[in-house]
Structure 1
Amino acid sequence: MKPSASGVAAVRLALPILAATLAAFGGLLTGGVLYYRDISLLHRPVRQVIRAIWHSGHLPLMDPAMDGGRHLLANPNYRVLHPTALLDCFLGLDQAFAVATVLQVFLAGWGLALLLRRQGASLAAARLGGLAFALSGPLLSLGNLPNLLGGVAWVPWILLAGLAARARPLTGLPLASLLAAVPLLAGGLESWGAAMVILAISALLSTERSRGLLAVGAMALGSMLLAAVQILPALSLLRGSERGLGFRASQIFYWSLEPARFLEALVPGLWGQPADPARWWGGARFDSGVPLILSAYLGATVLSLAIPGLLVLLPRRRAGRTTAISADGVAQDLRHLLIASGVTGAGLIFLALGRYNPLLSMGSDLPLAGALLRYPERLLSLVALPVAVAAAVGWQSMTRAGEMRRILRAAGPGLLLVAALLAGVILYTLSGGVPLAPELTAGRRAAAAVALRGTAGTALVGVVLLGACLWMAGRRGTRHLAGACAAGVVALDLLVAGVGINPAAEREILEEVPAAADHIRTREGAGTTPRLLRLAEPPVPGESIPPGVEVAWSRRSLAYRIPEEFGLGTSLQSDVDRSAPLGNYFLRRAYEKAAGARRERVADRAAAAWEVSFAAGTDAVPATADWAATVFPRAPVLVLRRRQTAAPRLAVVPHATYLGDLQAEGVMADLLEKLADPALDPRGEVFITAPTGVSVLGTWPVGEGAVTMRSDTPVGLLLEVELPGPGLLVVRDTFTAGWRVEVNGDPQEIVRTDMAWRGVVLPRGRHEVRFIYTQPGLLPGAFLSGLGLVLIVGLPAAGACRRRRSAVQAATA
């Protein structure tokens, strides 16, 4: 009889996984906040502005501060529609981040444990597999990549619901489709695809192949239908953003899986702790100095069990000869899960190698579809799942009979191989060497050798303790404790190795920027929204700077946090997400390529009223010493420079030259040349590019027109404009699909102005101009998602009615 995940068994599986997950994020329990890398650089400030827009009564469609306007809901990386966004309704900003991270890591482990139990694993094997997945280095590394975690953590639940839907399609498919839609709401196409592939392979291995494949297809279509409210706006954003241009091979294969990291899967801390510069010596091996997935450690104890788990799949030997490992005692469904997840994991590794895979890196340029492989190392986060499944199968197959000799023979290959590799690393460090490390100074190499010897030694101790647990499984008196012992050893192995992956900082560190915004507002004047020019790079953090300080003064941190949290906009901002509208992207490229007076002119056209840097030179105009010391007591002096020649955000100009269609040959080059021309004043003349249009040749002097702001919201502007003659209203906010304008209540055409901004041609007189934003794809996407919800409710209801009708007919027959 197949074991079932009953309520009691589910709780027994949940409790140890929950306790281990809380231990992995212990810093949050003592009042710390997640801050490392993408949390403070991108996701925390963006989430802050999303919360503020929700509270103002608007849909978070557009962030008006970042670079003149940046899409929010359309970008799945921001997770506006993800289930974890509901936490913002009940918790504060940092609490919501912490709960979402811990909850999803726990759900990932618990979901896999329930899946293993459903497929025939023992309670001990299921618990061990759940812990191995939840505490694995790749999954814990997603604590600072919440957009990836929002997809990977839901894969076990998709598999659990998908397998149930295969048995009962009418009642199971709605829930399976709903769960499968969750990764798509976070842009987790790789997580969604991996789940669908595992389910498809499982269906092919089953006796009811056609029925299983139909269920997977229906589930895939249903999930895409439900997620259409996110998919269609995202496709619209893709077409009109930098991502729509495609990527070069060097961009796609940035952060490819370094082959040397296969050893890191076995040896924790092979290159130190990437979140701590003082204890990280592998920077020269990786793009940007640290890997995308901070830890590839899958667990020495886990791999010791996964090896015999994979050996279960070997063909059985000829009759008359016995084997220590056989498929006996491993349920067929569990075996199918191992095969399906293993094949999928191998495919993920193949893709994750990126530029190190000669079959993927053959061309210098790749088409747009190649963007799906961008940052291929991120696929490593899904590889932990098949390894955890193999470890659970290994424990199940070795301990099924309880015979000491068979257990030791089965466990021997895995334990000896892993122990030998760890011992080899330890011996190598005793000679003063550090395997696979870049060039290091003598002192740093010695310190690295000591640290690595400690982590490898700890992992080796875990393997020895696991051997003791297997010995307990072969003894009658201790057999019932062996499973709990193994789970504890695996958890300790992974928890010790996971220290430092998700560092937590004091909340005060994240609150050191308000004075910067207050100072700029005071200098600029009340009621204005000045913009900052992109920030110069700060000095590289040294060992003397306390951990966490970088979140207060790094270039990207200020660039995102000042506009998002304090209402100050930016211009020409570097876009790590590559989701900026194309006009903003090309304007930024023009700024980067220019120099001297030409660069200053591009900044003028971008309405950059302030420039922020960290170069405290004599030619700069720093903020007051007291203010700098208050904001950054442990960091370099912050320098602010007021740019008097910057064009205003709102203006009317008498002259606007029509250059032609931006797609036509030569128009782009001509426009870029004119945008950087120091002789052309952006306050008096701008340039229009459109498929059709005419130049505006007003004769009135510059400065005589007037623009008054009546209303400014994330989804609209209401302006009162007065012109002494024909002219052009220029709003230096993002030109992107979805905006429309009404002049005195009548629709009018928006023209692209100076590459990136919006403009409206107006006649002489006073006008009321209203800009209104509607997210492209949102309404049809919402309709399709609503239709999907109706089907989800309707299918079970129809099935229940049909069964009730059949029962009535049978009773009256």
Structure 2
Amino acid sequence: MSSTPPLHRRELLSVLGALCAATLLFFHRLLASGGVFCERDMLRVCLPAKWLWVQAVRQWEWPDWTPFNSLGQPFAGATVTGAFHPANLLGLLVEGPAMLTLMVLVCYPVAALGTYVLLRRWGTRPGAAAVGALGFAFGGALVSLTNSLPYLQAAMALPWLLVATDAVLKHASWAAAGAVGLVLGTLLFAGDPQGFAVGGATVLAVAAFGPLEGAPRRKVLLAAGAGLGLALLVSAVQLWASASVLRETFAERRTLETAVVWSTHPLRLLDMALGNVFALERPLRAPVAEGLLGTQVNDFWLRSLYVGLPMLFLAGVAAASRWRERRVQLALGLTALFVLLMFGRHTPLYALVYELLPPWRPFRYPEKLSVHVAFWLAVLAGLGAESLVAREAPGRRRVAWVLGGLGLGVLLLALTGTGARLAEALSGFYSGRPELWPEVARQVGERLSEGGLRTGSVCLALGLLLVWRKLQPRPLALVLVTLVAVDVAWVTEPVYVSCDRDLIEAQPLFVETMRQRVGGETLLGQTRVYTAVATIQQPSLEGLSLDDRDAAANLTMLVPDVGARWGVEAANWYLPTLSARVGALLKDQRQWWRRYAGLAGVGFFTLDTLQVQKRGMEKYVVAESEPFGVQLLANPLALPRVYLAAPRCVAGPEESLALIASSDFVPGRQAAVECLTPLSQPAPDADLGSVRVVERDPDGSTVEVDAKQPAVLVASEAYFSGWTATVDGAPAEVLPTNHAFLGVALPAGRHQVIWRFIPPGQGMALAVSGLGVGLCLLPWLLRLRRVRRA
């Protein structure tokens, strides 16, 4: 493979400008409507988490705790919050949901530019590099990730990780190792531990099997190992934040069966080649996902896997014409590996990796690895485009006949109704509701035919152009870039979901009712809500799209964490750092409704009308959303979020859980406390005193207590070892109380108690990360110093 001269600044700036323009053009629908990305995790995780981060940092504080999910979780410990990603600083520039839009849009030109730079370093012309760049950045996988910013930001960094690794192959220098460490660290900072692990393994694979250009293999491997070591140092603050709480969470209890949810069915290779064949519009998407492809959930993790038949053909050109080259062999091998892992439970490889590599077990959803498949296919397509452009006219004509024949064949299959017959043939795989199958088969057949007509036409047109003897390399490259861009955008642009910005910023319907009932300006620290909505009506609301209605329904139900900006704390679980103790309470739904929800300070439930009637809870309804059939209920058993109780000592979590579920336990009066030594007991039936919360923020609270008797102060925050308490300025032991909550023993008298969640070891981990960043930047700083002296 030929080498190219260094990239000039003018070329990089020109390409970056073109890619920014392409991004704005691609997302014109979002920008013209003033909408905001709102699908799934964007509404439920990313927008609340980034909002909380920005609010804390603007007050020169750091968010250590998020109270808005499953009775509270460590903020940075829930890696998906991306607490340490540098792009969070954009939130300080832009207000509200527009902050999230900016963070998303930045990812696409950055991902495309990284792919472009990598391909140019590998010896391709600008046009061929642009083919790979556009194919990766605007392919189905990355456009689908507009529903999850952490994984999109990790995907954005992937090409740059390979650029840094290529520098290791070329120079085996400390500067190249530092670049690997910095870029790989951002994958974890984005909130993607699996991407971090896979990225590190990819670095090693490239260092071990990539082509050498002067430096011996041993030196290259040492530099790559140094890069991985630096990445561990750089990301130490996030690694420690996650690892320090892992043993207290439900993640360690994940099984292989739960890990392989959202495995990619082999049939979705049709999606990769022809279009979004199986991701039908609702309500048929769920029967396809569950009944036909066996995702075990009612949706796809990535709605589109589209790469496109033209891109796949170009990747095939690279495989056929350059298979002797080490880089092509490596790209093909990694593509095959990631495809097999992407299939999850449909092949034995994922289960083998799960069993042999224990650190892999916390990871889940094999379909996430589709991003790596898309990246390497885009790289191969860029190399194939280079081979095609570099050929003389006779050589191109041979490729033209193959491509034209492929396009004509696909066209004929589409025109003769093969798509409909293939869809009908899939009936043997279908296990959903039988009455839905005819419509499912019809729509899948139509999409197969439409995809065949589109991709067949593009391939045939390109094949005919290649036959033209006088077509020069530069115009040919321009044609390839244009056809690939149009083909990819045609399929993937409709994939992203946006909602009306005013809808997202409007206060949810039930929030004001909750405020009036608790009698406070804010709901933070006052009460919690638990949603148990089983079915929801889908009304046709004037002016609202289907995606708008979905977002409005989530806001109405107050699912976590959509109400965070209004102080709504949810008892439901969505973020990954669910306390194992809280998980035990949520798992026992019978006791949850009878007792545990009250102990957790859950003052409200949202249920659908059918559930309310089924449970006979009509008398507790305090508000209703008629369009969605959702009702807000007040919980008469809810305890205050902070109160005094008489301690009953227990030996451990199991005994505590058994006690609070027993009939002789008196909620609100007694507390099951895990204490090594007996605690002072109040007199029977005596007045224990009063409690007043004087200050509350997401990381803790300040409480004034007038204890008439010795007692334990109970706070219904999820217990983690990072919780601290001071009593009248002196440190006090925080005791696990009522199985999942906090308690501190108090003598009689007036006291001030301050609760704070302080992640253990975070200061030291931050210092280690700072050291790692310094070591990565050191060679660049020394080089800058030498240049200035010269």
- Regarding TM over 0.5, the answer is yes
Mapped to 2, the partners of 1:359 and 1:763 lie a distance apart of 59
Indicate conservation of the 8 Å contact 1:76/1:230, yes or no: yes
Task: Describe the shift of the 1:701–1:366 C-alpha distance in structure 2 as closer, same or farther (beyond 3 A).
Answer: farther
1:752 to 723, 730, 736: 736
1:298 to 300, 307, 315: 307
Equivalent position SS for 1:576? coil
Name which of structure 1's ranges 209-218 and 276-285 shifts more when overlaid on structure 2: 276-285
1:15 positional shift: 4.5
1:277 positional shift: 3.7
Task: Describe the shift of the 1:723–1:198 C-alpha distance in structure 2 as closer, same or farther (beyond 3 A).
Answer: closer
Question: Counterpart of 1:206?
Answer: 212
Mapped to 2, the partners of 1:202 and 1:364 lie a distance apart of 23
Confirm or deny that 1:577 pairs with 2:575. yes
What do you get for the CA RMSD once the two structures are aligned? 3.0
Question: Counterpart of 1:466?
Answer: 462
1:230 positional shift: 1.4
Confirm or deny that 1:387 pairs with 2:385. no
Confirm or deny that 1:409 pairs with 2:416. no
Question: Counterpart of 2:181?
Answer: 177
Name which of structure 1's ranges 360-369 and 184-193 shifts more when overlaid on structure 2: 360-369
Indicate conservation of the 8 Å contact 2:54/2:91, yes or no: yes
1:21 positional shift: 2.8
Name which of structure 1's ranges 453-462 and 147-156 shifts more when overlaid on structure 2: 453-462
Name which of structure 1's ranges 280-289 and 606-615 shifts more when overlaid on structure 2: 280-289
Alignment map for 1:135-534 (pairs within 5 Å): 135-168=138-171, 169-203=173-207, 204=209, 205-207=211-213, 208=215, 209-243=217-251, 245-273=252-280, 276-277=282-283, 282-283=288-289, 284=291, 285=293, 286-314=295-323, 335-361=325-351, 369-403=359-393, 405-413=394-402, 416-417=405-406, 420-421=409-410, 423-424=412-413, 427-429=417-419, 433-434=423-424, 436=426, 438=430, 440-443=436-439, 445-472=441-468, 475-476=469-470, 479-526=473-520, 529-534=525-530
Confirm or deny that 1:677 pairs with 2:659. no
Equivalent position SS for 1:58? coil
Code of the aligned partner of 2:574: V
Task: Describe the shift of the 1:132–1:678 C-alpha distance in structure 2 as closer, same or farther (beyond 3 A).
Answer: same
Equivalent position SS for 1:287? coil
Confirm or deny that 1:657 pairs with 2:648. yes
Indicate conservation of the 8 Å contact 2:237/2:765, yes or no: yes
What CA deviation, in whole Å up to 9, does each residue of 1:496-549 have, x standing for no partner? 111331121212332454331111111221256443342112425658574121
Instruction: Tell me the number of residue pairs that the alignment of Structure 1 and Structure 2 aligns.
Output: 763
Code of the aligned partner of 1:519: T
Mapped to 2, the partners of 1:620 and 1:714 lie a distance apart of 32
1:620 positional shift: 4.0
Code of the aligned partner of 2:86: P
Confirm or deny that 1:648 pairs with 2:640. yes
Task: Describe the shift of the 1:704–1:422 C-alpha distance in structure 2 as closer, same or farther (beyond 3 A).
Answer: farther
Name which of structure 1's ranges 218-227 and 463-472 shifts more when overlaid on structure 2: 463-472
Confirm or deny that 1:104 pairs with 2:110. no
- Percent of paired sites with the same residue: 22
Task: Describe the shift of the 1:313–1:731 C-alpha distance in structure 2 as closer, same or farther (beyond 3 A).
Answer: same
Code of the aligned partner of 1:145: S
Indicate conservation of the 8 Å contact 2:37/2:147, yes or no: yes
1:148 positional shift: 0.9
Indicate conservation of the 8 Å contact 1:151/1:182, yes or no: yes
2:628 to 635, 643, 650: 635
Indicate conservation of the 8 Å contact 1:513/1:562, yes or no: no
Code of the aligned partner of 1:369: P
Indicate conservation of the 8 Å contact 2:406/2:456, yes or no: no
Unmatched 5+ stretches in structure 1: 316-334, 663-667, 808-813
Indicate conservation of the 8 Å contact 1:41/1:557, yes or no: no
Task: Describe the shift of the 1:512–1:715 C-alpha distance in structure 2 as closer, same or farther (beyond 3 A).
Answer: closer
Question: Counterpart of 1:122?
Answer: 125
Code of the aligned partner of 1:646: A
TM (norm. structure 1) is 0.87
1:609 to 603, 617, 621: 603
Mapped to 1, the partners of 2:785 and 2:92 lie a distance apart of 37
Mapped to 1, the partners of 2:102 and 2:536 lie a distance apart of 32
What CA deviation, in whole Å up to 9, does each residue of 1:155-178 have, x standing for no partner? 111221332344452444433422
Equivalent position SS for 1:611? strand
Confirm or deny that 1:29 pairs with 2:31. yes
1:367 positional shift: 8.1
Mapped to 2, the partners of 1:126 and 1:234 lie a distance apart of 38
Mapped to 2, the partners of 1:706 and 1:225 lie a distance apart of 48
Indicate conservation of the 8 Å contact 1:171/1:796, yes or no: yes
Mapped to 2, the partners of 1:419 and 1:730 lie a distance apart of 73
Question: Counterpart of 1:687?
Answer: 672
What CA deviation, in whole Å up to 9, does each residue of 1:25-69 have, x standing for no partner? 222211111111111122222322332233343211112343332
1:190 positional shift: 3.7
Task: Describe the shift of the 1:418–1:351 C-alpha distance in structure 2 as closer, same or farther (beyond 3 A).
Answer: farther
Indicate conservation of the 8 Å contact 2:389/2:476, yes or no: no
1:272 positional shift: 4.0
Indicate conservation of the 8 Å contact 2:263/2:346, yes or no: yes
1:702 positional shift: 5.6
Task: Describe the shift of the 1:557–1:336 C-alpha distance in structure 2 as closer, same or farther (beyond 3 A).
Answer: farther
Mapped to 2, the partners of 1:673 and 1:419 lie a distance apart of 70
What CA deviation, in whole Å up to 9, does each residue of 1:636-678 have, x standing for no partner? 2x31222222221111112x2112033xxxxx1x433332335
Code of the aligned partner of 1:186: A
Code of the aligned partner of 1:356: H
Mapped to 2, the partners of 1:508 and 1:797 lie a distance apart of 46
Mapped to 2, the partners of 1:372 and 1:425 lie a distance apart of 43
Code of the aligned partner of 1:206: L
Mapped to 1, the partners of 2:443 and 2:689 lie a distance apart of 68
Question: Counterpart of 1:589?
Answer: 587
Task: Describe the shift of the 1:269–1:789 C-alpha distance in structure 2 as closer, same or farther (beyond 3 A).
Answer: closer
What CA deviation, in whole Å up to 9, does each residue of 1:715-755 have, x standing for no partner? 33222212222211111112112122222222221110011
Mapped to 2, the partners of 1:541 and 1:366 lie a distance apart of 46
1:712 positional shift: 1.8
Task: Describe the shift of the 1:24–1:436 C-alpha distance in structure 2 as closer, same or farther (beyond 3 A).
Answer: farther
Equivalent position SS for 2:29? helix
1:583 positional shift: 2.0
Indicate conservation of the 8 Å contact 1:196/1:216, yes or no: no
Task: Describe the shift of the 1:179–1:267 C-alpha distance in structure 2 as closer, same or farther (beyond 3 A).
Answer: same
Name which of structure 1's ranges 676-685 and 32-41 shifts more when overlaid on structure 2: 676-685
Indicate conservation of the 8 Å contact 2:69/2:575, yes or no: no
Mapped to 2, the partners of 1:661 and 1:4 lie a distance apart of 64
1:555 positional shift: 8.2
Equivalent position SS for 1:509? helix
Question: Counterpart of 1:328?
Answer: none
Indicate conservation of the 8 Å contact 1:252/1:373, yes or no: yes
Question: Counterpart of 1:62?
Answer: 65
Task: Describe the shift of the 1:217–1:256 C-alpha distance in structure 2 as closer, same or farther (beyond 3 A).
Answer: same
Mapped to 1, the partners of 2:407 and 2:674 lie a distance apart of 64
Mapped to 2, the partners of 1:218 and 1:349 lie a distance apart of 29
What CA deviation, in whole Å up to 9, does each residue of 1:621-642 have, x standing for no partner? 48999x74xxx56422x31222
Indicate conservation of the 8 Å contact 2:285/2:299, yes or no: no
